[in-house]
Copies of this chain bind each other. A is one copy, B any other.
Amino acid sequence: MGKQMTEMLKGTLEGIVLAILSVRPAYGYKITARLREQGFSDIAEGTVYALLVRFEQKGLVDVVKIPSEKGPLRKVYSLNAQGQEYLEEFWRTWSFLAGQLDQLRGGGR
């Protein structure tokens, strides 16, 4: 992945994963696979797990352990009220930034 993308993901990946969780609960492995399908080609496994741990520590998610059909236990994460709140703030921040960028891009031509 490009270095620009790597840096741009800081702060954004968090929101992306929260948004994914807001649609439906999911576990790390699945989230990583989904991100890769969506074009974030080399998101590292460890990256998502670290993120999920942080969510848990901040109290943004609830966790349930569910047996997998194949392999070790899955840790299924779901967004709780606080996480929803946090996600909304993320969207506000993102909107502002995207607005500014659009303006700059338009003005630059």
**Which listed residue (B4, B39, B96) contacts A100, Cβ 8 A?**
B39
Q: How far is the CA of A15 from the CA of B40 in the complex (A)?
A: 20
Interface size on A, residues (CB 8 A): 34
Please tell me how many copies of the chain the complex holds. Answer: 2
Closest to A19 in B: B104
B residues in contact with A7, CB < 8 Å: 10-11, 14
A8 within 8 A of B: yes
**Which listed residue (B9, B16, B91, B97) contacts A5, Cβ 8 A?**
B97
> Is the CB–CB distance between B16 and A104 below 8 Å?
yes
A82 within 8 A of B: no
B residues in contact with A5, CB < 8 Å: 11, 93, 96-97
